[in-house]
Amino acid sequence: MTYLITGGAGFIGGNFIHHMLSAHPDDKIVCYDALTYAGNLETLAPVMSNPNFAFVHGDITDRATVNAAFETHRPDVAVNFAAESHVDRSIDNPGLFLQTNVIGTQILMDACRKYGIKRYHQVSTDEVYGDLPLERPDLLFTEETPPHTSSPYSASKAAADLLALAYHRTYKLPVTISRCSNNYGPYHFPEKLIPLMIVNALNDKALPVYGRGENVRDWLYVSDHCKAIDLIVQKGGIGEVYNIGGHNEMRNIDVVKLILKELGKPESLVTYVTDRAGHDLRYAIDPAKISRELGWLPETSFADGIKLTINWYLENRSWWERVITGEYLSYYAAHYNN
Ligand code: NAD
Ligand code: DAU
């Protein structure tokens, strides 16, 4: 089998490539990535010389380059991680998110139709369901929860999901979709909450918490997400949507304080800053369907996963020190100084 993995130089796609090459050593993996600010070839350095791995530098919105990659590598399966993924950036530049996340998905699925594919898997997000009230812990997102989005990012991901389902119904494209909660773990770009707080704490910089830090996210260790996607691609039902999550809801402020405690840094580093526009209050996934139908269960508790993650950032300083330069510094100054 040959897998085309788009966005494989990013956080989850990179972890997925490492997972696939070790779980399926006889299969071929082709990474297709535009190497935006979020793409990092150092994440793929450990597999670059693997004979079953190839890297193609290309944009999913560039039809000619996408088609050329299909022509050359003839993938059996395509898994689409490529996206603009940061909510705050989508508020500043929605057009880029529509272009990559919607039009890019269309162009990839067109290539899947043209060249024939056994499976197209769309990596989606729990953010397509909008948010849940803080005072109703009984409510969870199920696959039947209607799309109800808050940010240009989540709207673009919901649009891509609808398009994927339309390609399945109209053209019989063999599509599956997964909607996962917040991931954390190695190779996470330090613009997102957990790596940002680890990196700033290690540098004794202020930890910017939006609003009062009471928003709730449902955290899943990235390798559990990768295993779930692998399972859906191997055994999931065509045309089906699967929620992925580990029932691990936490308030942002509690996550931040835990990181400070693990690193032995003072809580005085916490700085409350202006809230995100349209900030979703709470996400919470009901993963009953994937557990019941495919036997998936999360393996890493948050207590273990956060320690593994912090250790990874301690042991891989050169990876993140090279990342927090250039474009990152100008983004950081513009975003947090405002
Ligand atoms: P990321 O921002 O770390 O990585 C995105 C990758 O996509 C980068 O390597 C980037 O270079 C590449 N890319 C961006 N635009 C591209 C384009 N036009 N053509 C080709 N490549 C392009 O993102 P992530 O956090 O790893 O998220 C991966 C996917 O998982 C996204 O689709 C996201 O919506 C989804 N998701 C993320 C989370 C999370 O917690 N991070 C949770 C659920 C779902
Ligand atoms: O739920 C899945 C989604 O999780 C993915 O689809 C997105 O790609 C991914 O970025 C993530 O979105 P969030 O907006 O939940 O993640 P982020 O790390 O940006 O923020 C997590 C919470 O922390 C959120 O409530 C906002 C808050 N936050 C974030 C940043 C960057 C802060 O308080 N301060 C910050 O500086």
pLDDT digits (tens, 9 = 90+) for 233-264: 999 999 999 999 999 999 999 999 999 999 99
Question: Smallest Cα–Cα separation from 8: which of 58, 73, 52?
Answer: 58
Amino acid at 56: V
Kindly report the length of the chain.
Answer: 338
CB 236 within 8 A of CB 264: no
- Predicted pLDDT at 299: 98
Q: Is the CB of 101 under 6 A from ligand 2?
A: no
Q: Is the CB of 156 under 6 A from ligand 1?
A: no
- The answer, yes or no, to whether residue 99 has pLDDT greater than 80, is yes
Domains of the chain: 2-187+222-247+282-301 (3.40.50.720)
Nearest CA to ligand 2 atom 25: 215
Which ligand approaches the C-alpha of residue 199 most closely?
A: 2
Q: Would you call 51 exposed, middle or buried from its count of C-beta atoms within 10 A (0-12, 13-18, 19+)?
A: exposed
- Predicted pLDDT at 66: 99
Q: Is the CB of 86 under 6 A from ligand 2?
A: yes
Which ligand approaches the C-alpha of residue 211 most closely?
A: 2
Give the start-end residues of each E strand in the chain.
2-6, 28-33, 53-57, 77-80, 119-125, 175-180, 182-184, 207-210, 216-221, 241-244, 249-251, 270-273
Which ligand approaches the C-alpha of residue 206 most closely?
A: 2
Residues that are catalytic: 126-127, 153
Q: What is the pLDDT of residues 124-175, one digit of tens each?
A: 999 999 999 999 999 999 999 999 999 999 999 999 999 999 999 999 999 9
Q: Is the CB of 208 under 6 A from ligand 2?
A: yes
Q: If you average pLDDT over residues 210-222, what whole number do you get? A: 98
Question: Smallest Cα–Cα separation from 210: which of 179, 250, 253?
Answer: 253
Q: If you average pLDDT over residues 97-113, what whole number do you get? A: 99
Q: Which atom of ligand 1 is nearest to the CA of 40?
A: 9
Residue among 4, 11, 103 to mutate when testing ligand 1 (max atoms within 8 A of CB): 11
Q: Is the CB of 108 under 6 A from ligand 1?
A: no
Nearest CA to ligand 2 atom 2: 182
- Predicted pLDDT at 338: 67
How many angstroms is it from 250 CA to the middle of ligand 2? 12
Taking the CB of residue 216, how many other CB atoms lie within 10 A of it? Answer: 19
Binned at pLDDT 50, 70 and 90, residue 337 comes out as: confident
